[in-house]
Amino acid sequence: MKPKLAIVSLGCDKNRVNTEKMLSQISDLVTFSSSEDAEYVFINTCGFLESARQELFEILDSFRPEQKLILAGCFWKFADEGFYARFPNVISFLKDGDDIRKIVTDLAGARYIARPQKQLGNTIFLTPPSYAFLKVSEGCDNHCTFCIIPQLRGKYHSRKIEEILEDAKVYLERGVKELILVAQDVGNYGADLDLALVCLLREIEKLPVEWIRLLYLYPERISDELLSFIAKSKKVLPYFDMPLQHAADSVLRRMGRPYKKAEIVNLLGKIRAKLPEAVIRSTFIVGFPGETAADFEELKTFLKSQKLNHVGVFGYSDEELCSAYKLKDKVEQKTIQKREKEIMELQKKISAEHLAKFVGKEIRVLIDGNPEEGVYIGRNFYFAPEVDGALYFNSGLQPAAIGEIVKVQITEAGEYDLFGEISS
């Protein structure tokens, strides 16, 4: 009898892609089960922040002692003797290059038969049938002082175009309409292969995909060539996800970011001039060591003037493995929380202003979910899944299916979401 295995995937969308690939390697060896019934649990971990590590501990504590745990992912850097003493039912911790199929074959008492790593096989999908995350590279060559990704994932290395296209075809055969390119630094794709990102985009465009979305484009990687390509493309969405992190030059310098505010403002102007419908998303860190009240006000002024479409804000987390840990002039936690709240209140109003412009318009919407009869959740190009808002609409008498693209009349706008009805 095949062993019962439960799945827990933590952290980012890159981690989720890794989970899909690893589980697809063993789908013929196990029976996937709920956590309550499983003999074994596979957990793809995240160790990026202390909060993520605490979440992992809580999850590990929730399993029964007799349940055997197989771990993978970024937490490996923190798995010391104390960790294994606390969680003796962790029987294996996979690192990059380890063969999960070999480990599970031993558990199942089966004969080992290798399966090519690039072959998804009986693919396990962890996203709805409407979209899929397509990982184009691993690792990172940036050395931001607040980040430990290069220590966890190593140097940046691009996947070969042929391998990426093979994965894309598997997703499209499932009926996926939107391919979302992800990496720690998507804009750097191909630098180690003597290629540019547009080379990959040209090949993906040849596939029968409706939408192509790029996530995590560092601003210094957004070239005129890339902007021109997106402006002419009928498939690559004018959606720019840029981790700007701050707007005060002194803070950017301490963060290890290779640009100044003036360069950001110039880039945003260039994007909007070439692509008037461009949607711009970014994340910011408040409370970084040395961030003064004046620095914080400069960030607020920047957001008020630039009016980005989507903004995420995080309070600085003082991680011992980051070089920022050694910086002086730490900001009090109370102040960090206050600044975080202020930014979100400011952005809430900006977001509502942007969304109000959709009311009365008819737009194409990709259906991601159907939580109850006649009610659907979807997105147009304006929203990326899971990180932005969404569009909620009624189908009336017209049935629709997840993964279908329909026309929706927008009747109402909230602070982060849109509401409407399928057009007759």
- 245: phi then psi, degrees, rounded to nearest 5: 75, -30
- Which CATH number goes with the domain that contains 237? 3.80.30.20
Answer yes or no: is 167 within a domain: yes
Q: Do 139 and 192 share a domain, yes or no?
A: yes
The token pair that represents 39 in the structure block: 């003999």
Q: What is the pLDDT of residue 395?
A: 81
Last residue of a domain, which of 302, 327, 354? 354
Q: Do 223 and 297 share a domain, yes or no?
A: yes
Q: How many residues does the chain have?
A: 424
How much is the average pLDDT of 263-272?
Answer: 97
pLDDT band per the 50, 70, 90 thresholds, residue 177? very high
The strand pairing partners of 421, in sequence order, are: 394, 409
| Helices and strands (H and E) in the chain: how many | 12, 18
- 66: phi then psi, degrees, rounded to nearest 5: -80, -10
Helix, coil or strand: residue 263: helix
- Using CA atoms, how far apart are residues 260 and 374, in angstroms rounded to an integer? 49
The DSSP symbol for 240 reads E
Answer yes or no: is 119 within a domain: no
pLDDT band per the 50, 70, 90 thresholds, residue 150? confident
Average predicted confidence (pLDDT) for the chain: 91
Answer yes or no: is 307 within a domain: yes
Q: Do 227 and 78 share a domain, yes or no?
A: no
Question: pLDDT tens digits for 401-414?
Answer: 899 999 999 999 99
Q: Do 345 and 388 share a domain, yes or no?
A: no
CB 134 within 8 A of CB 168: yes
Question: pLDDT tens digits for 18-37?
Answer: 888 888 888 888 888 888 88
- Using CA atoms, how far apart are residues 336 and 339, in angstroms rounded to an integer? 5
Angle between helices 161-173 and 197-205 (to 10 degrees): 30
CB 118 within 8 A of CB 163: yes
Total domains present in the chain: 3
- Which CATH number goes with the domain that contains 63? 3.40.50.12160
Q: Do 99 and 247 share a domain, yes or no?
A: no
Question: pLDDT tens digits for 203-254?
Answer: 999 999 999 999 999 999 999 999 999 999 999 999 999 999 999 999 999 9
- Using CA atoms, how far apart are residues 383 and 416, in angstroms rounded to an integer? 10
- Using CA atoms, how far apart are residues 114 and 99, in angstroms rounded to an integer? 9
Residue 54: CB partners within 8 Å, gap ≥ 6? none
Q: What is the pLDDT of residue 122?
A: 45
| Angle at the Cα of 156 from the Cα atoms of 151 and 159, rounded to 5 degrees | 135
Last residue of a domain, which of 319, 354, 389? 354
Kindly report the number of other CB atoms within 10 A of residue 173's CB atom.
Answer: 10
Question: pLDDT tens digits for 45-72?
Answer: 988 788 888 999 999 999 999 999 999 9
Supply the DSSP string of 61-109, one letter for each residue. HTS-TTSEEEEEEGGGGG--HHHHHH-TTEEEE--TT--HHHHHHHHHT
Q: What is the pLDDT of residue 57?
A: 93
Answer yes or no: is 116 within a domain: no
Q: How far is CA 41 from CA 70, 260, 341, in A?
A: 6, 46, 37
CA 165 to chain centre: 20
- Using CA atoms, how far apart are residues 225 and 223, in angstroms rounded to an integer? 5
Kindly report the number of other CB atoms within 10 A of residue 170's CB atom.
Answer: 17
Q: Do 334 and 385 share a domain, yes or no?
A: no
- Using CA atoms, how far apart are residues 405 and 364, in angstroms rounded to an integer? 6
Question: Tokens 């630039």 identify what position?
Answer: 306
Q: What is the pLDDT of residue 51?
A: 86
Q: Do 97 and 141 share a domain, yes or no?
A: no
CB 126 within 8 A of CB 19: yes
- Using CA atoms, how far apart are residues 28 and 46, in angstroms rounded to an integer? 26
CA 23 to chain centre: 19
Q: Which residue has the higher pLDDT, 294 or 394?
A: 294
Residue 399 pLDDT > 80: no
Q: How far is CA 364 from CA 51, 58, 396, 409, 412, in A?
A: 38, 41, 17, 9, 16
Domain residues for 226? 131-354
Expressed in angstroms, the distance from the first to the final Cα of the chain is: 52
Answer yes or no: is 86 within a domain: yes
Q: Which amino acid is at 389?
A: G
